[in-house]
Chains A and B, each alone.
Chain A
Amino acid sequence: MSEEFEPRVIAFCCQYCAYSAADMAGSMRLQYPSNVEIVLIPCTGRFDVILALKAFEAGADGVYVAGCLVGNCHFLDGNIRAQQRVDYLQKELKNIGIEPERLAMYNLSASQGPRFAEIVNEFSEIISRLGPSPIKKNLAA
């Protein structure tokens, strides 16, 4: 692990807003760090703590959930429920000694391609500052 730390981030994006915004960032050719990889979910209401835990277990340094703006969820309150799960898991992470900042929730609309790129930058910066996840395999090797 002598080389520079390259964080691995998984983003769960809802198909209506965040995933569309990510596509829009693409069509606008906005450049952002390549270490964020997106998993499409139908609504952030589908986001479950087990999915984030799996990502951390596999070696992700950070996980974020991105859904529609509050009040604009295609399924009314899926994004609010996701926020509650994120809040809950953040506390649990803290309890087991993992920085809660490794998990986050963002809200944006489908037309906010630039905001999507900004979020990637923001979150990558946070994770870079925190360094590798303590769960990460082969960390000692």
Chain B
Amino acid sequence: MTTETDKPVVVTDKSGAVLVIGGGVAGMQTSLDLAEMGYYVYLVEKGPAIGGRMSQLDKVFPTNDCAMCIISPKLNDVGGHINIELLTLTDVLAIDGEEGNFNVTVRKNPRYIDMSKCIACGECAKKCPRKVDNEYNESLDKRKAIYVQYVQAVPLKFGIDPKECMYITKGKCGNCKKVCPADAVNYDDKPEEVTLNVGAVVVASGFDLFDPTSQETYRYSQWPNVVTSMEFERILSASGPFQGHMVRPSDHKEPEKIAWLQCVGSRDINRCDKRYCSAVCCMYAIKESLIAMEHAGGKLDTAVFYMDIRTYGKDFEKYYNRAKDAGVRFVRSRVHTLTPQINGDVALEFIDEKGQRRSEVFDMVVLSVGLTPSTGIEGLAEVLGIELNEEGFVKTHPLAPISSSRPGIYACGVINEPKDIPITVMEASAAAGAAGKEIVDARFTQTKSRSYPDERDIKGEVPRVGVFICHCGINIASVINVTEVVEYAKNLPFVELCENHLFACSSDTQTKIKDAIIANNLNRVVVASCSPRTHEGMFRETLAAAGLNKYLFEMANIRDQDSWVHQKEPVKATQKAKDLVRGAVAKAALLEPMYQTRMGLVREALVVGGGAAGLNAALSIADLGFPVHLVEQKDILGGNAHKVYSREKDVRGYVKDLIEQVESNKLITVYKKTVPKYSSGFMGNFETVFQGPSGEFTLKHGVTVLAAGGNAHKPNSYLYGQNGRVMLSLDMDELLASNSPTITKPKQTFAFIQCVESREDARPYCSKICCTHSIESALTILDRNPGAVIYVLYRDIRTYGFREKLYQEARSRGVRFIRYDTDSYPEVTETPEGGLRVTVLDHVLKRPLAIDVDYLTLASGIDPTPMKEEIVEVFKGQLTAEGFLLEAHMKLMPVDLATHGQYLCGLAHYPKPLEETIVQAKAAAARAAGILAKPYMVVGGVVAVVEPEKCAVCCTCVRACPIQVPKIVRNEEDAALRGHAFMEPAICQGCGVCVSECPGKAIKLQFFTDEQLMAKVAAMVEDPQAAEA
């Protein structure tokens, strides 16, 4: 067990602080991970609040989670973190020094509001006469010159827009200063330059959206009913310009027909200089069409006009299928002309797949605009001395995907390349680990620690319950009559106070709840909103901040389990909300304060799997200073990477080098031909038994990283295994890597078939890498054999991000791309002469095309690890329907497993290219290091407690406990009495099995006692008020 030391004594001349530039989801995640690992963070944001682009989104794909709901806890975590210093309205001016010791000069621009005084009451904005376009709502409505960016903004402080304020520009007005009750307005506020000493810098400055104004075709600036996808997000959003009422801008008519036009400002070198694919637009268009249908109650005609549908991520293909089933029309065509109609409608003209000219009229058109690097990145890159690539994004290398060209400066999120939220979050964690690596000795040298106000003793008090009911924008309030529930709850037993709030999770509501607890002397709190799974922790912090024991809190889930699932039954949903609140109040009244204790942890990691993912994870954890046990079932490290050949990067050399680094690292112990047999314990103190070449052995570890890999799928089609000229992608890689003469023979014809046994009912997912990989192989063949004829038979080409450039190169160099559909698969036959013939229905000519080929490569995708069952059994993981490991949350916890202290990375999570595996492994390492870095863990709380006088020492609990917690001890009070069972609160995980098994009812599980649960159940079922009526 490690000794408890808050601040290890180290001598280092390096700084223990890190500068993070950009306050979007990438910057927030990097900051949180760095702070957890023991670094002090300066988070610089050029705007007035953090939250970035994600905060503007209505929903996120493919989970359809409300974006604000899932980002809000993170906003509050960052805003409230004692080791993250938020610098809003701040620009980076200069940097000098080097990795480990940079001096960064920043300018804090004036807010004209004293943040310490502003109470965000909004009186100033009410009286401000100056209306300006509201950028947050994409200029669909107006804000005032004094404003707060959005209602959940962190920090929730108003600010003056100096370019628009009439007092600042003309010396007239001054209304805000007159009405501010807190005297917070200061027109004389001046910019301030500060120099920050940091050890590393992470650039997370995000993206802007492509401005379609320049593109004549779309007439975007002329017609209000042609909107960008971000404008449409705001139209859908409850906090948007139309309060979530889906109407078109020109006449506020509810649209009946909406079209999405894909690839606006992406994959286009004719009308704009944007060669790359923006990687997210297909998915967000599908999401917007599904959510729009939901808004319209199903009575909406939606059509997506596209070139290729790129649903390549985890669960994306199923989302696409869901949209098709829901009736979203997918039209493969690039619309060439938009014509306005007198009533505001827009006519689209296009050529359909059959080559026919078609015209169709829509109520509104959404342009799926691409992502461009954030404005100002050129200047920032110059200041920081980092290179940009030809597309204007921060230049990185596929094998070092988060490192900029300057040591000590890292980049994550869309500023490297367009990408979705999960990969952004992975990169953010990975960047945190990378940034921490060089300054690992300076950990905890600049951090501070927090103290809560003393807890109020509530012993002997009658319960005084405060109930807070959330509207969740319209998520709850559009179905449930919140006012009715509030009035109802006021009359429940012990309820002292009941209030409703637009967003219970927003930081201003947290302050209001805290104030209400203190002002009303509340001793129990109930929040009726969303799921305790996502929000309980946040609300408990609010109780602690108010000096109330954090366990005196109960939630009623009236959104996920009520308003969202009973959308068409408002009366019943309202009744159910009352039942749920009644149950929560009844349980809350019986809650007791509970206390947590500190516990030591094993500061070592276990990594399962020695492929590229496991090697990277092990190395990164060791780089952050912790011993690692790396376990591999084969007798060789490196996994699939040994078999991969890439034109763009030396994969085989890379993995050889990686193995060398791992094997020579003193902190890493490698166990080959070893498999895990059994694992027990919990975060901080796991114990796993392995079967190795010389028998069984046991390891203790604080965290576990599962990097169990995946395999190339072996198909049963297209003569694979029957004809030697039919091979898989990795076989082709072997030919290319070994410089095989078969490649360079003159007049050779090669064919690639994509999506082999993929994206079908049996394997309903896209393996993400195959399009890029086949195209890379095709180009390599052409490089060596310019006369070769190459065919690629595909369903959709999915060269997302910068990979699109490879596709363009392949097309321009004559690779022939032929599309097929699932209703006309290609056929592969052997000709009588012994040749190989591929027959496919040509999508342009609509005729069968017979191609005699010399070699056929099947892109069959990736199967989950064959070890998946063992992994799940040993480590208690969860699998998706397809057999990949299921992460704790698909968007915001992409490397965490549901069990605390367990992480995942690589192909075990989902098929992905090497660069993403590297990122994910580094991310898992950083998350793991966040646990290992702490001197102790805080444990206890929801744990089992034995009442000694009731215990008959029958040992039923000893047999029932899954983690061997119960021990039989002497009776400390009176040695003459019989001994009893005892549960160590530090290791009890609170499952409650012993409680229900105990024949003497001598054990109770705190927070889930029989009394509390029975009171809850009885209250939910019986409605005393209804009975009286």
Contact = CB atoms under 8 A, between A and B. Distances in A.
A5 interface: no
Nearest to A45: B993
Interface in A18-70: 19-20, 22-32, 34-35, 37-43, 45-48, 50-51, 54-55, 57-60
B984 interface: no
Given A16-B898, A75-B962, A51 B992 contact: no
Given A10-B1017, A29-B565, A34-B576, A43 B993 contact: yes
B565 A26 contact: yes
A71 B877 CA distance: 10
Given A37-B580, A72-B872, A109-B878, A30 B991 contact: no
B908 to A, nearest CB: 16
Contact of B1020 (A20, A27, A39, A50): A39
A19 B262 CA distance: 37
Interface string B41-78: 00000000000000000000001110000000000000
A102 interface: no
Contacts of A59: 1021-1022
A76 B876 CA distance: 8
Interface stretch (B232-240, B245-253, B497-505, B556-564): B556-564
Given A29-B564, A43-B992, A8 B962 contact: no
A110 interface: yes
B568 A37 contact: no
A43 B994 CA distance: 11
A47 B1021 CA distance: 18
Interface of A: 8, 10, 15-17, 19-20, 22-32, 34-35, 37-43, 45-48, 50-51, 54-55, 57-60, 71-78, 81, 85, 109-111, 117, 137-138
Question: Which of B294, B878, B881 is the most central at the interface, judged by chain A CB atoms within 10 Å of its CB?
Answer: B878
Interface stretch (B188-196, B712-720, B1007-1015): B1007-1015
Nearest to B64: A27
A20 B63 contact: no
Q: Which of A20, A38, A46, A58 has most B Cβ within 10 Å?
A: A46
A117 B567 CA distance: 14
Contacts of A10: 1017, 1020-1021
Given A42-B1005, A58-B1021, A109-B878, A26 B991 contact: no
A77 B1022 CA distance: 33
A23 B899 CA distance: 18
A57 B1021 CA distance: 9
Contacts of A38: 557, 561
A22 to B, nearest CB: 5
A29 B876 contact: no
A46 to B, nearest CB: 3
Nearest to B291: A29
B1018 A81 contact: no
Interface residues of B, number: 59
Given A22-B560, A55-B1021, A41 B872 contact: no
Contacts of B1022: 58-59, 137
Interface of B: 63-65, 294, 531-533, 557, 559-562, 564-569, 572-573, 575-576, 579-580, 583, 872-873, 876, 878-881, 886, 898-899, 942, 960, 962-963, 989-993, 995-997, 1005, 1008, 1010, 1013-1014, 1016-1018, 1020-1022, 1027
Contacts of B560: 22-23, 25-27
A51 B878 contact: no
A117 B1010 CA distance: 28
A37 B1021 CA distance: 9
The 8 A-B pairs with the shortest beta carbon distances in the complex, nearest first, are: A46-B992, A26-B560, A45-B993, A58-B1021, A26-B564, A43-B991, A75-B991, A34-B572
A53 to B, nearest CB: 9
A37 B1027 CA distance: 19
Given A19-B531, A29-B64, 6 more contacts: A22-B561, A26-B561, A34-B562, A72-B872, A75-B991, A110-B898
A111 B63 CA distance: 11
B898 A46 contact: no
Contact of B533 (A19, A28, A43, A74): A19
B1017 A54 contact: yes
A31 B566 contact: yes
Given A27-B560, A38-B561, A45 B1020 contact: no
A28 B59 CA distance: 11
Contacts of B568: 31
A46 B579 contact: no
- Determine which residue in B294, B879, B1017 has the highest number of CB atoms from chain A within 10 A of its CB, and name it: B1017
Contacts of B576: 34, 37
B581 to A, nearest CB: 11
Contacts of B1014: 50-51, 54
A27 B993 contact: no
A64 B989 CA distance: 24
A14 B60 CA distance: 26
A28 B64 contact: yes
B314 to A, nearest CB: 11
A132 B1018 CA distance: 17
Nearest to A59: B1021
Given A25-B565, A34-B576, A71-B873, A42 B990 contact: yes
A34 B568 CA distance: 10
Nearest to A43: B991
Nearest to B555: A40
Contacts of A58: 1017-1018, 1020-1022
Contacts of A34: 562, 565-566, 569, 572-573, 575-576
Contacts of B573: 34
Contact of B962 (A41, A76, A111): A76
Given A46-B993, A111-B878, A51 B898 contact: no
| Most chain A CB inside 10 Å of its own CB: which residue of B567, B576, B876, B993 | B993
Contacts of B64: 27-29
Nearest to B1023: A59
Given A48-B1010, A75-B991, A76-B962, A29 B294 contact: yes
A70 to B, nearest CB: 11
A109 B884 CA distance: 13
Contacts of B995: 46, 48
A51 to B, nearest CB: 6
B730 to A, nearest CB: 30
B989 to A, nearest CB: 7
A10 B1018 CA distance: 10
Contact of A50 (B65, B876, B1010): B1010
Nearest to B961: A75
Given A37-B1020, A71-B873, A81 B878 contact: no
B993 A55 contact: no
A48 B572 CA distance: 29
Given A29-B64, A31-B568, A54-B1017, A72 B962 contact: no
Contacts of B1010: 48, 50-51
- Which of B294, B583, B873, B992 has its CB near the most chain A CB atoms (within 10 A)? B992
A132 to B, nearest CB: 13
Nearest to B571: A34
A34 to B, nearest CB: 4
A37 B878 contact: no
B1013 to A, nearest CB: 6
A110 B873 CA distance: 16
Given A26-B559, A55-B1017, A37 B579 contact: yes
Given A51-B1010, A58-B1021, A71-B873, A78 B962 contact: yes
Contacts of B1016: 39
Nearest to B1016: A39
Contacts of B557: 23, 38, 40
A81 B1017 contact: no
Contacts of B942: 42
The interface centre, meaning the residue of B873, B963, B991, B995 with most chain A CB atoms within 10 A of its CB, is B991
A46 B1020 contact: no
